[in-house]
Amino acid sequence: MNDTIAAISSAGGPIGLIRASGEQAIQAVDTIFRAKNGKRMLDAPGQKLVYGTLHDKNGKMIDCCYAVVFHAPHTYTGESMAELQCHGSTAVLQQALDALFAQGVRQAEAGEFTRRAFLNGKLGLSEAEAVHDLITARTAEAAQNAVAQMMGAVGSPVQQMREELIGMVAHFHAVVDFPDEDIDPILFDDAAALLHRTTSRLYAMAESYERGRILREGVPCVILGRPNAGKSTLLNTLLGRERAIVTDIPGTTRDLIEENVKVGQLLLRVTDTAGLRDTTDPIEQAGIDRAMAEASASALILAVFDGSQPIGDEDMLVLARAAGHRAIAVVNKVDLPQQLDEKLLKKHFLHIVPLSAKTGTGMDKLLSLIPRTIGLGDGAFDGALITNARQAAALARAAERCEAALYAAQSGMTPDAVVMDAEGAIAALGEITGETVTEAVVSRIFSDFCVGK
């Protein structure tokens, strides 16, 4: 990390940002930027915008913009940093970047700014991963959860538990080092209390991942039903616009139609599917096969039934596919005379919502029911939800090793049995904070970032 890096950190808008970090960052920007006040950026105070002109590698003026410097170690990366706030033209930004490269600066790799912040101790690994979650957040709630994790909502309690386990292991090592001394039973009692408390906390954190994953990625949701039940109309009503073609001709929808819909605090990844029925049309059958496969992989099924018609054989296909899934029965077309008997639906579905996708009647009830069905109703997004699969796996391993150490402590085993499992838990927690993580894992984590972050 002795070299200086630079990258375009934002583009495509009226303002573009170029960021540089490293020992020569301020010197490089000083060479291509001339302040209107005549002073050099090398002498500029930190964190203060300076207005001036930007020049390409040949010294030609290419923009009027702002520059700002940040002095180590009080920066995002822990290194000297400088930024150029230019007009958002791709041509201007690229010329400015080329001018920095001419000064010996190199192109930053994906996630390298945040990686340097981690390696320089400015961020723990869980906080660094939260930066990625914040950048890619698709809802306000996911962003709230991510920014809380950036501030230590995961890293701080994990570090606390790790230090408590290290302290406990140190006491046991002292006992092992002096085998002739009698072991105070209080040592085992205190260890058991700590391990019991820690195990419970770790399992609770690990188990929050399923809800956290839904918060970050959205809910894969399939609209399923027989032809003309109103699936496409329901999709259009959810979207608030005409996305799917709606006709009275059975088999109109043949391929999957996917859209994102915000429902309360949830992002639904909704898929409209071909109507389920027996058909000799190979194209329509291919659409039905896709619908079946999509329903199997979904987290939520909206099973749509035509309330103006009695339950038929095609509806039984819907019932069979929805079995064993989180599902809501949507009895559509309540604006028409009703013929559907809900007794059969009540045997298969916990939730039944009568509505009219055409008029919007009953949609509020459906929208309020979806988050509760998924298990992510109203709540504070304070970073407590684990949204990272790697962290969830490490937490689960730590919980298992703590549980094994607890059993050893309560069963009167030798101190080294307690220590062995406790040290396994400490190592697993270190994978979250970054203290025991391998270089290969670090490289993989930051390769998922975009360039300039």
Q: 129-208+386-447: what fold?
A: Four Helix Bundle (Hemerythrin (Met), subunit A) (1.20.120)
Output b/e per residue, 315-345; b: 16+ Cβ within 10 A.
bebbbebbeeebbbbbbbbbbeebebebebb
Whose tokens are 């994906």? That residue is: 110
- Could you tell me whether strands 266-272 and 15-21 are parallel, antiparallel, or unpaired per DSSP bridges? unpaired
Q: What are phi and psi of 52, to 5 degrees?
A: -175, -160
As to burial, measured by CB atoms within 10 angstroms (0-12 exposed, 13-18 middle, 19+ buried), residue 150 is buried
CATH 3.40.50.300 region(s) of the chain? 218-374
**Residue 86: per-residue pLDDT:** 93
Residues of the chain with CATH 1.20.120.430: 129-208+386-447
Superfamily of domain 5-108, CATH level 4: Probable tRNA modification gtpase trme; domain 1 (3.30.1360.120)
Alpha-carbon dihedral of residues 196, 201, 203, 208, nearest 10 degrees?
A: 170
Q: Which 8-state DSSP code applies to residue 238?
A: H
Query: What 3-state class would DSSP assign to 17?
Result: strand
Q: Specify the DSSP class assigned to residue 2.
A: -
- pLDDT, residue 244, reads 41
The domain defined by 218-374 carries CATH number 3.40.50.300: yes
Report CA 279 to chain centroid distance, whole Å.
41
**Which tokens in the block code for residue 333?**
């077309």
Please tell me the distance from the alpha carbon of residue 222 to that of residue 319, in angstroms, as a whole number: 14
Tell me, what's the pLDDT at 52?
Answer: 97
Percent composition of the chain: helix, strand, coil (DSSP 3-state, to 5): 45, 20, 35
How many helices and strands, by DSSP H and E, does the chain display? Answer: 16, 13
Predicted structure pTM score: 0.79
Q: Which residues pair with 106 in a beta bridge?
A: 5
Q: Which residues pair with 8 in a beta bridge?
A: 18
Task: Provide the 8-state DSSP code for 43.
Answer: G
H helix runs in 268-322, sequence order? 282-297, 313-322
Query: What burial class does residue 283 get, using C-beta atoms within 10 Å of its C-beta: 0-12 exposed, 13-18 middle, 19+ buried?
Result: exposed
Give residue 253's pLDDT.
43
DSSP 341: -
Residue spans of the chain under pLDDT 50: 241, 243-255, 277, 279-280, 283-284, 288
Element of type H or E holding 426 = helix 415-433
Which of 321, 334, 305 shows the shortest CA–CA distance to 231?
305
According to DSSP, the β-strands at 257-263 and 266-272 are antiparallel
CA-angle at 93, arms to 91 and 96, nearest 5°: 110
Tokens 């009703």 -> residue: 338
Largest CA distance in the chain: 88
Specify whether the CB–CB gap between 113 and 77 falls below 8 A.
yes
pLDDT of residue 254: 40
CB-based contacts of 149, cutoff 8 Å, min separation 6? 126, 127, 129, 130, 133, 155, 383, 387
Residues present in the chain in total? 453
Sign of CA dihedral 420, 158, 449, 72: negative
Q: Which two tokens stand for residue 297?
A: 């992989």
